[in-house]
Amino acid sequence: MRFRDTILSGVWIVEPQPYKDERGLFARTFCAQEFAAQGLPCRFVQCNTSWNRLKGTLRGMHYQLPPSSEAKLIRCTAGSIWDVIVDLRPGSPTYLQHFGIELSAQNRLSLFIPEMFAHGFQTLEDETEAAYQMSEFYAPELSKGLRYNDPRLAIRWPLPVSSISEKDESWDLIR
């Protein structure tokens, strides 16, 4: 795997290094030793999948408060998504700045997201699936979110929103 840094400290694009032959390819998408060498968490306690019927579906922007803040490793296993994170780390020089990247079944990239980042994505194709590895268990009482269209964040989503949950649409604006 190759780790590429981003404009937000601690956020990494993880690029598999595939072995290709006449059958197709094989690639590692996670290796505890390689993550440890980058100083990244190697313990994931939960894996989730999100299948989305319609192009333009938006999920997010979600995060969990301490002591259940979670790091995530996300990749797209079918279709494609525009994946966005927002830095919520107190005292960070990039506080409230965001970063977006296309993750797709075709490019096979993953995004490592440290604790205290809000995360969301928009599907770019119908029938898109994303897979997550989480460093902490889901704690509903510590689950929070940001409004995807908060003017203070100024996130540019690539498509009009075709589907969003009532909960995701009703998060408070940042004050």
What would the pLDDT profile of 50-104 be if each residue is shown by its tens digit? 999 999 999 999 999 999 999 999 999 999 999 999 999 999 999 999 999 999 9
Q: How far apart are CA 12 and CA 33, in angstroms?
A: 16
The pLDDT, as a whole number, for residue 41 is 79
Contact in structure between 136 and 73 (CB atoms under 8 Å): no
- H helices of 2-129, in order, are 32-37
pTM, full prediction: 0.94
Owner of token pair 């490019």:
107
- H helices of the chain, in order, are 32-37, 166-169
Statement: 43-169 belongs to CATH 2.60.120.10: yes
Q: How far apart are CA 121 and CA 136, in angstroms?
A: 20
Query: CA 43, 44, 47: angle at the middle one, nearest 5?
Result: 170
**β-pairing verdict for 24-26 and 143-145:** unpaired
Contact in structure between 137 and 68 (CB atoms under 8 Å): yes
**Structure tokens, 73:** 């490793």
Q: How far apart are CA 73 and CA 14, in angstroms?
A: 9
**C-alpha separations of 161 from 6, 104, 149, 150, 165 in Å:** 26, 19, 10, 14, 11
Catalytic residue among 63, 98, 119, 132: 132
pLDDT digits (tens, 9 = 90+) for 17-52: 999 999 998 998 999 999 999 999 778 999 999 999
Q: How confident is the model at residue 175 (pLDDT cuts 50, 70, 90)?
A: confident
63 counts as catalytic:
no
Catalytic residue among 62, 63, 119, 148: 62
**Structure tokens, 37:** 């060498």
Q: How far apart are CA 147 and CA 175, in angstroms?
A: 12
